[in-house]
Chain A
Amino acid sequence: EPEVTQTPSHQVTQMGQEVILRCVPISNHLYFYWYRQILGQKVEFLVSFYNNEISEKSEIFDDQFSVERPDGSNFTLKIRSTKLEDSAMYFCASSVVRGSYNEQFFGPGTRLTVL
């Protein structure tokens, strides 16, 4: 069964450093998403992406964040200058088509620890 994969599973970085989290969505999916979950808190939507552009973003997704689909398979989330409060589990998801009624398939997550 096709699945969303994410690398690395755990990333440790120093405050102020740039990190890139990588995701490979399911191959025939067209919509891609990033969510994050700070320890002990809710899963929060960050951004959705379609046709090589952001279709929606939350207020969390400020100028420190960017997303890119650098090739036909990868979808990345970059945090330009990490802060302590960026420590969280980051989930990538993908769906076949637009619309929140369509199932979003989630990856296993990348745990980001900022020291």
Chain B
Amino acid sequence: AQSVTQPDIHITVSEGASLELRCNYSYGATPYLFWYVQSPGQGLQLLLKYFSGDTLVQGIKGFEAEFKRSQSSFNLRKPSVHWSDAAEYFCAVGLSEYGNKLVFGAGTILRVKS
């Protein structure tokens, strides 16, 4: 069955430290991959997306993600976290054969300590 797994429900990092949020998917084909961020009271904002080509993609707010086909992963990274990055992060996948829908992971809540 199609699934997206974000194994970490909560992560706490110190401001200025590096960050990696994990995402794994289980599909037969390579899906289209997305990372969204949700701040409290806000909608879902797209950070970055991967369709094809270079497996390291750059996004907004200094985030990047790397697609690793062999590991079925699309982990999100940031070299230096800012307090304003505290939010919930969602990995999502889409498959053309499943039409328009996105399938989301459960989310990872990021806390930043000063």
A residues adjacent to B (C-beta < 8 A): 4, 31, 33, 35, 41-45, 48, 55-56, 58, 91, 93, 95, 98-101, 103-109
Contacts and interface: CB of A to CB of B under 8 A. Distances in A.
Contacts of B31: 100
B41 interface: yes
Contacts of A109: 43
Nearest to A105: B46
Contacts of B99: 48, 55-56, 98, 100
A100 B96 contact: yes
A107 B95 contact: no
A93 B100 CA distance: 11
B54 to A, nearest CB: 16
Nearest to A97: B100
B44 A91 contact: yes
B43 A100 contact: no
A104 to B, nearest CB: 6
Interface in B10-40: 31-32, 34, 36
